[in-house]
Amino acid sequence: MKSSKIAPTTTPVEIENKPLMNLGGVYAYAETHLEFVANNPKRSSGKAHSRFENYSKAKTVSEAIALGATKADLRYDFDHKFVAIV
């Protein structure tokens, strides 16, 4: 008796609407809307200050990441109330 094997798919299966990160128990998706504080609260001598200047203009999580935010930046900002989910 021949065994039939299923060939692996060549394209990975993607889950639609997969959360990018967890912000304080809230799942943040690519299109989750964000609102940053008006004044940059980071130390002006640090690298995070210049990154915040760039990504604080973003309206969504994916925009913030595209503008240079790391997931660690967003988690820190969320924990310290520098950004809010709208």
Domain ranges in the chain?
A: 21-85
Q: Residue 84: its pLDDT value, please?
A: 95
Contact in structure between 34 and 83 (CB atoms under 8 Å):
yes
pTM (two decimals): 0.77
pLDDT tens sequence across 48-60: 999 999 999 999 9
Assess contact for 50 and 77: CB atoms under 8 A: no
On the question of pLDDT at 11 being above 60, the answer is no
- Residue among 61, 55, 56, 58 nearest 29 (CA): 61
